[in-house]
């Protein structure tokens, strides 16, 4: 078994684990989805509640061990396979969950997203267990309860305003304090804080997030349509295709302006466009999900409008350097987890 990924073993030394999941995982259904998608967040929410008090690390370590074990059990035994039930035989609520959670049986992207989510939550368990001192949420001064602070920290994967509860400024040691950045944001090295914009009311903020959700959804759907029509057996194959980009680029000939002045597009240019398309798809997909949840959070009235004002991506096309792109303008979902070994 090769250690590094190959065409025969695309997951390298993890290939046996991947094979085990494929052979043993059952489907996510309309009856077990809370166990798969909701239950893993319960222990981490308890962790986040305890994290607001001193001398709770031993309890958080125990909860973290239980949480990671439960995540591994869930990840290896459940995955998306297709529509959960016949649409005509389910309630309207289950129908909506079904349409959002599993659009087509071949869409492996949902399983990839589920795996990334579990990895991200596992990182939270480890991170919150390792932190020695409590964290302070400045929104408690504005009336937010400790329970709401715990829920926000557990589900908050924006990694943008989390500096306001001490992660960016504290790491694993030292108590957090209320920062002085714009909108309660702790600036990172080299970051240029944007000026504080006009404060939106709840209706305006909800409408903004919903509009962004529609724009990102439409853009992502357009990209998926182009992939499925231009490369139905390679990059657009819903069942997957090994070395899809290489086959798409080298087994096809693309001609620009065929009716005016035919020009054969160089393969390296095609590959660059496809790679850029994948990056744009990641951007649109993550932003679509972010603004969907922001619409619910702000529209419900449970969250402050300003706590969701910073978007997941900050105009990546305006990046002035690779550090500016990856360190600030691209999503920061894994910033804290990847920084933990250095703390």
Cβ 166 vs Cβ 136: under 8 Å: yes
pLDDT tens, position by position, 286-322:
899 889 989 999 999 888 888 888 888 888 888 888 8
Between CA 137 and CA 165 the distance in angstroms is: 5
Is 112 domain-assigned?
no
Nearest one of 45, 174, 28, 32 to 113, comparing CA atoms: 28
According to DSSP, residue 326 is labeled I
**What beta strand segments (E) does 186-281 contain?**
255-256, 263-264
- 234-240-245 Cα angle (round to 5): 40
**173 within domain boundaries:** no
Mean pLDDT, residues 195-221 taken together = 87
Please state the domain count of the chain: 1
The predicted model gives 130-153 an average pLDDT of: 85
- What DSSP string runs through 105-148? TT-HHHHHHHHHHHHHHHHHHHHHHH--S----GGGGGT--HHH
- What is the CA angle 343-152-205, rounded to 5? 120
pLDDT of residue 160 exceeding 60, the answer is: no
- 320 falls within a domain: no
Mean pLDDT, range 223-241, rounded to an integer: 82
- Number of other residues whose CB lies within 10 A of the CB of residue 321: 9
- In the predicted model, what is the mean pLDDT of the chain? 77
The per-residue pLDDT for 141 is 81
Answer whether residue 96 is part of any domain: no
Give the Cα-Cα-Cα angle 175, 332, 187 (nearest 5 degrees). 50
- At 158, the pLDDT band (50, 70, 90 cuts) reads low
| pLDDT of res. 64 | 94
| Whole-angstrom distance, CA of residue 336 vs CA of residue 343 | 10
Q: In 3-state terms, what secondary structure has residue 160?
A: coil
Half-sphere exposure at residue 81, Cβ-oriented, CA atoms within 13 angstroms: 14
The pairs formed by 246-252 with CB atoms below 8 angstroms and a separation of 24 or more are 248/274, 249/274
pLDDT of 342 strictly over 60: no
Q: Give me 100's structure tokens.
A: 């959002």
215 inside domain: yes
Number of neighbouring beta carbons within 10 Å of residue 276? 10
Which tokens sit at 69? 């074990």
Instruction: Tell me which of 130-139, 160-169, 289-298, 320-329 is least confident.
Output: 160-169
Q: What's the pLDDT band for 256 if we cut at 50, 70, 90?
A: confident
Q: Encode 196-206: b = buried (16+ Cβ within 10 Å), e = exposed.
A: eeeeeeeeebb
Q: Are strands 26-27 and 263-264 parallel, antiparallel or unpaired?
A: unpaired
pLDDT band at 97 (very low <50, low <70, confident <90, very high): very low
What pLDDT does residue 341 have?
55
Question: Which residues form the domain of 274?
Answer: 198-308
pLDDT of residue 90: 41
Q: Does residue 87 fall inside a structural domain?
A: no
pLDDT band at residue 36 using 50, 70 and 90 as cut-offs:
confident
Asked, for residue 303, whether it belongs to a domain, the answer is: yes
């Amino acid at each position: 078994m090769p250690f590094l990924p190959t065409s025969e073993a695309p997951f390298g030394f993890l290939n046996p684990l991947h094979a085990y999941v494929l052979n043993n995982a059952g489907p996510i259904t309309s009856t077990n989805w809370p166990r798969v998608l909701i239950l893993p967040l319960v222990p981490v929410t308890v962790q986040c509640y305890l994290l607001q008090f001193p001398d709770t690390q031993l309890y958080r370590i125990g909860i973290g061990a239980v949480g990671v074990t439960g995540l591994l059990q869930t990840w290896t035994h459940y995955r998306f396979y297709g529509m959960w039930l016949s649409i005509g035989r389910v309630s309207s609520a289950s129908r909506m969950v079904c349409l959002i959670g599993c659009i087509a049986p071949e869409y492996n992207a949902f399983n990839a997203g589920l795996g990334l989510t579990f990895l991200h939550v596992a990182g939270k368990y480890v991170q919150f267990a390792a932190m020695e001192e409590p964290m302070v949420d400045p929104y408690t001064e504005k009336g937010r309860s400790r329970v709401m602070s715990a829920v926000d920290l557990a589900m908050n994967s924006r990694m943008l305003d989390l500096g306001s509860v001490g992660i960016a400024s504290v790491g694993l040691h030292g108590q957090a304090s209320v920062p002085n950045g714009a909108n309660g944001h702790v600036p990172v090295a080299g970051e240029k804080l944007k000026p504080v914009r006009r404060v939106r009311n709840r209706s305006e903020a909800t409408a903004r997030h919903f509009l962004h959700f529609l724009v990102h959804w439409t853009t992502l759907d357009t990209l998926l349509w182009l992939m499925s029509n231009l490369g139905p057996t390679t990059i657009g194959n819903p069942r997957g295709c090994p070395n899809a980009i290489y086959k798409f680029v080298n087994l096809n000939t693309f001609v620009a302006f065929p009716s005016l002045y035919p020009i054969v597009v160089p393969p390296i240019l095609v590959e660059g466009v496809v790679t850029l398309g994948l990056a744009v798809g990641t951007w649109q997909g993550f932003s679509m999900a972010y603004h969907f949840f922001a619409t619910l959070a702000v529209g419900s009235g449970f969250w402050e409008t300003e706590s969701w004002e910073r978007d997941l991506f900050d105009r990546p096309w305006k990046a002035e350097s690779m550090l500016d792109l990856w360190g600030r303008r691209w999503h920061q979902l894994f910033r804290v987890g990847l920084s933990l070994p250095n703390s």
